[in-house]
Structure 1
């Protein structure tokens, strides 16, 4: 059988742009123009990149990105929440503009949440809410399991938590780590950007923004900013136990077309949540819900936070 060539919309969504930014709608341009307060804070020897929006003294909202991503994934979401909340985001150590570590663990990532939330003033109006996407759910759940009353709630967004049936069929990684490739030009680096897991992207203006902020200039060209060895040096505890151990209310948001969080996985995660926990399934969203349906995601968060937690 002849193997079909990879779909460039999946494997290289920005390649055809040849390094040029695509046109973007006015809502996106306005959001990105609302520049965050950018800071740096040291946590256990690593300096973290932090963003914040909105006035201090408003209810706190902490936004936590996924694996290999960075705080800039929230730059077009946070301004639409900042009218009602003091919003903060960080780049995890080993990702974005934050320092890399010799070793990584969920307790340290959870410490990063608390330190950044405190520095940004999220606790000034009482207990804040966390929103964690994908990998960001794991440090969030670790932090949520520490102290009752510290957090008002935690929103789990398309988490990589799989049903028992699906877990038995997943391959384990072999632990090998390949260093990042150096691309001679920014155009060539952008052409290699893709989502993980791969998915279609109709919002190329968002993909272009986050791809540019995922790169750094190095000797010989451009390379990715995240630490490629992070997962080889990070162990995760039982994921179901992390959900059950949370000491604040939980809500679940999923992408209806997600290939990571499939319907059986979403049903399994929902079964782990306390009875009555909210569940929102975003139509036409894949795993990266803030990229696929950004305004629907904003609307869902606004509606959820207006009535929950009680």
Structure 2
């Protein structure tokens, strides 16, 4: 199983979920170029100006480590990255688990992405002028669960550790992308996991992904926010095990 993190984060986002699968799977975690502990030399402003560059990295990783076919678990933008990689190299992927996916964040005719074009431009402009301030305000909103402020603080810390220039470019690649047409190219059996409340990827987006993937299941979990890997690891793990046809095991204490 290969776990991929979302925007502004690193592999630590999976610390409450990935260990639960180690008894049954070889578990691989990594940081995207420009994130976490990734080699700074791996980041290329041209290659990583679009999500295709990150998808190429995933394909290269699986080829280099001879890992395929794998269960690829992608959170947020990494769900789209996994979709692009699986469409390109289906031989490398046995299953896809897409947590909070969104193929397009901007609303369109007959499609609700969750944001207007103006809102996305304002978001990107704020990131470009005051990334740390943006992070401190937006991370708790993205996390949700205001009754558990430590979760928002953890996400804020992760965002603030990211190079602002890299973060802005990744945000543009993420929030300006439109990968709706790529969904039909994926033949890998997929699970779409959606939280009942998510300010980044509304329920309508999750259902859209499910309805436009040729082979998929939809799991709406009783969780709030965009990061159930931290806020609701039990519910996320149960949905994943049900999809994989595996018994639910007792949680592993991190």
Same fold (TM over 0.5): yes
Match of 1:97 in 2: 37
Match of 2:81 in 1: 139
Match of 1:278 in 2: 217
How far apart are 1:181 and its partner, in Å? 6.1
Match of 1:158 in 2: 100
Cα gap change, 1:121/1:280 in structure 2, threshold over 3 Å: closer, same or farther? same
Q: Quick check: 2:2–2:71 contact (8 Å CA) kept in 1?
A: yes
How far apart are 1:145 and its partner, in Å? 0.5
Q: Quick check: 1:149–1:248 contact (8 Å CA) kept in 2?
A: no
Cα gap change, 1:90/1:203 in structure 2, threshold over 3 Å: closer, same or farther? farther
Match of 1:292 in 2: 231
CA distance in 2, matches of 1:85, 1:215: 32
CA deviation map 1:63-114 (0-9, x unaligned):
1111111111112211111111111122211222332432322232112213
Q: Give the number of aligned pairs.
A: 231
TM-score by length of structure 2 reads 0.75
Q: Quick check: 1:64–1:90 contact (8 Å CA) kept in 2?
A: yes
Match of 1:122 in 2: 67
Aligned pairs for 1:21-170 (under 5 A) are 61-98=1-38, 99=40, 100-103=43-46, 104-119=49-64, 122-123=67-68, 127-161=69-103, 164-167=110-113, 170=116
Cα gap change, 1:206/1:298 in structure 2, threshold over 3 Å: closer, same or farther? farther
CA distance in 2, matches of 1:252, 1:181: 30
Q: Quick check: 1:289–1:297 contact (8 Å CA) kept in 2?
A: yes
Q: CA RMSD in A?
A: 3.2
After TM superposition, the runs of 4+ consecutive aligned structure 1 residues lying more than 6 A away are 190-193
Aligned pairs for 1:205-244 (under 5 A) are 205-216=150-161, 224-225=162-163, 227-231=166-170, 234=173, 238-244=178-184
What secondary structure is seen at the aligned counterpart in 1 of 2:223? Answer: coil
CA distance in 2, matches of 1:107, 1:262: 24
Deviates more, 1:96-105 or 1:70-79: 96-105
Structure whose CA Rg is larger: 1
Q: Quick check: 1:70–1:96 contact (8 Å CA) kept in 2?
A: yes
Structure with more helix by fraction: 2
CA distance in 2, matches of 1:167, 1:299: 27
Cα gap change, 1:178/1:161 in structure 2, threshold over 3 Å: closer, same or farther? same
Q: Quick check: 2:143–2:227 contact (8 Å CA) kept in 1?
A: no
Consecutive unaligned residues in structure 2, runs of 5 or more: 247-254
Cα gap change, 1:281/1:107 in structure 2, threshold over 3 Å: closer, same or farther? same
Cα gap change, 1:195/1:206 in structure 2, threshold over 3 Å: closer, same or farther? closer
Consecutive unaligned residues in structure 1, runs of 5 or more: 1-60, 184-189, 217-223
2:128 is the counterpart of 1:178? yes
TM-score by length of structure 1 reads 0.63
Match of 1:197 in 2: 142
